[in-house]
Structures are given as C-alpha cells and as structure tokens.
Amino acid sequence: MSLIEELKRRKVFRVATSYAVVAFIIFQLVEILFPIFNFPQWTQQFIVIIILLGFPIAVIFSWVFDKTHEGFIKTDAVKNKENKNTENTLTGKPFYLQSKNLLLFFGLVIAFLLGSYGGGSFQSSVDDKSIAVLPFDNYSTAPEDQFFSDGITEVIIANLAKVKDLKVISRTSVMEYKKTTKKIKDIAKELGVAHILEGSIQRANGRVRVVGQLIDTKTDEHIWAETYDKDETDIFELQSEVAIEIAKAMKSELTLDEKARINEKLTDSNVAYEYYLKGNMIENSGHSKENLFAAISEYERSITLDPDFAEAHAQLGKMHAHIKWYRHDLSDRRMELSKKSIDRAMELKPSNATVRIGRGTYYYHGFRDYGKALADYSLAKELEPGNISALYRIGLIYRRLGDLEKAIENITDASNLDPRSTLMINQLAGSYVSIRNYDEAIKLAKKSYEINNSYNGVINNLIRAEYFRSGNASKALNDSKKFSSDLNIRVLDFNRVLKNDEDLLSLLTESNQKSYGNILEFFPHDYFLGLAYNYKGNKKLASESYNKAIEYLNDQIILYPDDARFYTSTGLTYALLGDKQKAIEFGLKGVEALPINKDAFFGPNHVKGLARIYSIVNEKIKALEMIEYLSSIPNGLHYGELLSDPDFDLIRDEIRFQNILLKLEPKS
C-alpha cells in the first residue's frame, strides 16, 4: 500500500482537514469577539499558539490511534491488500451521506460564512465617518516649536469635531501615538476608527509648511493628500482648510453653520494664539496647583496681546474655577477673578462652545450650581456635537445630581471618543462602583490600568471596588502598598480597619505630614495616631492625640468654613473621645455643609460619617436608620465596609444590621 493510501486508511487527512476547519472557525470567532469584550492582545496570541501547537499532535495521534465503538485503539499495520476500511462497507452509506463527512461539509460552510461575513460584520461596527488625527511630526529646527505642532494637531481635531456626522477621537487618546512605530491598521483597531490622518509641520522664517494624508484603514489607501505652504499669519486659514478638505474626503456634507464655526478666526495676533496654545497644553497635562497657575500665566499673556480673545478669557476663568474646586485656593477673590474673565468671554462670544464650557465650569466648580452648569454644557454640546469636554462634563453633572444612568450614558459617549483616556475609563469605573456594579468597575479599572499603570485614580477604584465587594481589608492594604510606596489616606484607613496598631505607629512616626486626605475626605496626622494608641490600649496618649487632631481641624474650619470634610472628621474624632454631644453636632454639620440634594456623589460620604458616629457613640437606632438609607442610594454604604469596619462593631450583631448586610452582599 502506498503512503497516500495508508494516510487515508489511518484517517490522517480527515483529522487534519477537520482540525484546520475548526481552527479557522475559532480564529474567526476570536478576531470578532475578543475586541468586543476588550480582552487583552496576549489572549488572542495565546489561543493562536495553542491551536498551532496542537495541529502536529492531532496528526500524530490520528496516525497511531483509531476510534472504534470500544474507544481509541492502536491502529494495526496493513498486512495485505484486502483492506476493510472502506466506509461504504462499514456503514452501508455512500461517502456524501456519512455523518462525519456531513459534519465536515457543514463546518466548511460555517467557516466560509464566518470568513466572508464575520470579520466584515466587525469591520462594519466601525463607523465609516470615524477618524483619528495622529500628532503631526515637528520638522522645525527649534525644539520649542513642538508645542506649536501639537497645538495645530489639537485645533484640527477640534475643528473636525464641529462636524456633526463625524466621529473624531480626542487628543488624549491620539497623543500616545506620537513618534509611534505601530502600523496604521493596528492604531486604527485600537482606536476603533475607519480613517487616520497623519502629517508633518515645519515652521521657519515666518512660513509654515503642512503635509497631510488621509488613510482609509480598511484598504490602506490614501484617499486624500495635500501639501500647504503658507505665511505664518495665515495659520487659522490653513487649519480650517485642512479640516474642511478632510470632511469632504470622508463624504461629509458640512452645513453652513459648521463651515462658519470651522472658519472662525480666534484672534488677529499669532503670538497671542501661541500663548493660548501653551495654556491649553499645560491644562491638558493635569490640574496640579503648579499646572493651573502656569496655564493662567499663558492665558493672561495672550489676553494682554489681544483683549478681545474670547476663548482665552473663557479658559482663564475656567482655570480660576479649577483652583477653587481642587482646593488650591478657596478664597472669594479666586471666584471674583473667574467671574470677571467669564463675563468678558460671554460679552465677546456668547454662542461659542469653549466660552459656554468655561461658564459651565464656573457654575459647577465655583458654586455647585448644577442646573446652570448643565444648561451651558448642553448648549456647548448642541453647538459642537463632538465636543468631548461637553459630553464628559454633562456626565459628571448628572452624577452629582444622582442620575447615574444618564451619567454613565454621557461618560460612555465621551469615552468612545477618547478610548485611550484613563481618566474617562476611570470615571466610568467610579460610576459603576457607585451603583455597586463591582464586576464592571473592576473590568474597567483593569482596562485603564493596562493603558496607564501609574494613574492613582485607577488604582484607587480597583482597590475600592474589590474591597467593597469582598470586605477583604488585608488584600486591600497589601494592594495599596504594592501600588504606591507613599503614605496616603488609603493605606492608613485600611490599617485603621484592621486595627494594625504597630504598623500605624511605625508609619506615622516616620512621616512628617500634618494631614492626609483627598477631595472627598481629610484627617489630621494625630487622628490616626490616636487610633494607634487606642488599639494598643493606651487611652491617655490616644486622648491627647485626638485633642490635638481637634485643634488642627478647628483651625481648618476657621479658614474654610464651607468645607464639609473638616466637620465630619471633627465629629468622628469627638466620637472616639467619647464626647457624644459634640460628635453628633459636628457630624450633622458635615451633612449640612454638603447635603445629598446638593451633591449626590460626594454628599453620601458625610452621611456615612454620621452613621459611623452614631454607631461609635452607641446610638443604635439612629445608626441603623442611617445605614439602611445609605444601603438604598448610589454611592452609599457597601457590603465590604459594613462587613469589616470596626466603627460598626457595637451594632454588628443587630438583626436589622445583618439583614442590611445580607441585602448588600454581592450575588456573584
């Protein structure tokens, strides 16, 4: 018998073909489904490697063994030409009616359909009118021109976002591809776009040269390419022209209003414009005190050169409001400066999206006036449907109003336009934590962590979600230490929950910090020191530390009488001292300073503080009422907190408490 006949007899060809068909189907399913569920790239590579390694094993197995009614047996060698392996003899059916061959036939059909239409259906889920503008290469000789190149990229993105039927990826997500070596197709897949615009900018001797090319990512074809060589004073005209030509190349019909907005000239001063771009670049790098004041300096320089530069006034007013919101300066003077800039911007361009976002932030960050802020942000969205800043802020406003469904909807829309932004993904994760959807929150936090593993907000949400779901404070503490070597409130608070007296004392003795906190909560150094002494049984030193903490908090209240954090912390400290009356008094003041009807996102934290106070001072009924209420609202109490926090020890055995715990226990 020839080798070919022997391979047929041992069904090697059949096994190889069947394996190939099944492998092809799996490859297609992996390509379609894994991106939808945001599985990391390595999982796809792992499956491909496993399947490829399995092929020779399957072939060898089919040569050595044969499947019978009795199971797998070793295949006998052929002793004569009379071979009883013909399927017709064994089954009594012709080849094309045998069940195994029918399955093979249908498998080939399914593989063909998946190959022809499955991948296409995934491609079709990518919007044909979607585009990402990659950072333009800077070919200028002066290194300081880099901000100019990045600024031009940002303006082209902003101009394209003014076109209603285009999906334009935000600058945050595209900036990571600066000087990338990744292929265009890979970038397009990561960003979920059908088109990529790339190019270069060179500025020299008062001239600007811009080269751009638009690529269809499905075919890798250049559907538009152009070189512009203009005087530097014509930069606005150049930016507008590029955006309009790109929109036309993508078969988008611009309305007269959209064209007018794209062609709008921001300022007659190129130098003022450069200062404005610098301010924007600084703001985009974060809201630290240093960044915000540096951005203010750039906007002020811009306005000095052009007092009628509306967008610069709006950005300046927004920076002042940010400074108050992030507690860098809580003085009335700060908001007076903000108002002056916003009022001037509104005089100049009341129907401008940047101006409306600036005024919305003035109301939001300055006064928590969510109604007025929402009105301004909504108008900005109406003026520029693709304005990611408006979409994102609308989501944040709804979260403060307690409408988590609308909050998640709008932040998701913003995240779709900024898919590589850890900030967007993390805000979504935090929103899902609020409604106790811990699995989704953890999934999003992990996705964000893969993009940027140094962003503290992501780590915080990941740890919080896992702790709230399980109550495992030991794991939460270990994770907190693993992710950050700095002493922060997260590490201290999990030590509080675990009553780690020695660890607390060791950490606090080595620290020179006077306080620990964030935008949500604030505690003096001596508060945690008092807890450590209390856990060790040294009531005298604990009492001394608590009193020092109260003195420190009283000073903060005098300076910042509207800050709810200081009242809640004072109430908790008095509760630990055993002063029931003052504990409840300050706990109530914390709730009054930031009630839930004023802030449904941060407000519950102060109600939570009051519940802890009631429990510590043994006001069981009031504590249970508070806990029951907090278990029914977004961003209230979570299963893990109730399970582990020692502040609830005095009421933990109450039937009502146990019923609440049972209600909050995650089912999965």
pLDDT of 310 > 60? The answer is yes
Q: What is the SS3 assignment for 218? A: coil
Q: What percent of the chain has pLDDT over 90?
A: 68
Q: Concatenated DSSP letters for 610-634?
A: HHHHHHHTT-HHHHHHHHHHHTTST
Same domain for 110 and 20? yes
The alpha carbon of 479 is separated from its chain's Cα centroid by a whole number of angstroms, namely: 20
The first and second tokens of residue 292, run together, are 């915000």
> Is residue 346 in some structural domain?
no
Q: Are residues 134 and 116 in the same domain?
A: no
pLDDT tens track for 99-152: 555 455 555 555 555 455 444 444 446 888 999 999 998 888 776 677 788 888
The answer to whether position 215 is within a domain reads: yes
Triad 220, 218, 447: Cα angle to 5°? 110
Instruction: Please write the tens of the pLDDT for every residue from 360-404.
Output: 999 999 999 999 999 999 999 999 999 999 999 999 999 999 999
The candidate with the shortest Cα–Cα distance to 413, out of 194, 153, 170, 96, is: 170
Which of 214, 243, 263 terminates a domain? The answer is 263
Does residue 628 carry a pLDDT above 60?
Answer: yes
Which range has the worst mean pLDDT, 71-80, 183-192, 377-386, 619-628?
71-80
Same domain, 135 and 204: yes
Provide the CATH number for the domain around residue 427.
1.25.40.10
Looking at residue 666, its pLDDT comes to 95
- Whether residue 353 lies inside any domain: the answer is no
Residue 453 in any domain: the answer is yes
518 and 646 share a domain?
yes
Question: Is 118 in the same domain as 140?
Answer: no
Number of domains the chain is built from: 4
Residue 389 in any domain: the answer is: no
State whether 464 and 483 are in the same domain: no
* Together in a domain, 632 and 655: yes
Question: Environment class of residue 332 by beta-carbon count within 10 Å: exposed (0-12), middle (13-18) or buried (19+)?
Answer: exposed
Q: What is the pLDDT of residue 435?
A: 97
Neighbouring residues of 403: CB distance < 8 A, sequence distance ≥ 6: none
Tens of pLDDT along 464-496? 999 999 999 999 999 998 887 778 899 999 999
For the residues 69-92, what does the mean pLDDT come to?
A: 50
Is residue 89 located within the same domain as residue 184? no
Based on the fold, state whether residues 613 and 633 are members of the same structural domain: yes
In a domain, residue 601? The reply is yes
Is position 190 within any domain?
yes
Check residue 120 and give its pLDDT.
45
Which range in 222-236, 256-270, 301-315, 483-497 is most confidently predicted, on average pLDDT? 301-315
- Supply the range of the domain harboring residue 167: 130-263
Say yes or no to pLDDT of 61 above 90.
Answer: no
Query: Are residues 506 and 612 both part of a single domain?
Result: yes
pLDDT at 148: 81
H helix or E strand, kind and range, residue 354: helix 353-367
Residues 495, 588 share a domain = yes
**Is residue 616 within 8 Å of 623, Cβ to Cβ?**
no
Q: Which of 89, 106, 124 is the last residue of a domain?
A: 124
Query: Is residue 617's pLDDT more than 90?
Result: yes
| CA distance to 285, 342, 388, per residue, from 356 (Å) | 22, 9, 13
- Please say which residue of 420, 451, 470 terminates a domain: 470
* Tokens read off for 623: 């504590």
pTM, two decimal places: 0.79
Structure tokens at 590: 């914390």
Q: What CATH number corresponds to the domain at position 538? A: 1.25.40
What CATH code is carried by the domain that includes residue 258? 3.40.50.10070
655 CB neighbour count, 10 Å cutoff: 8
Q: What is the structure's pLDDT at 30?
A: 73
Does residue 656 lie within any of the structural domains?
Answer: yes
Residues 522 and 597 in one domain: yes
pLDDT given for residue 97 in this prediction: 46
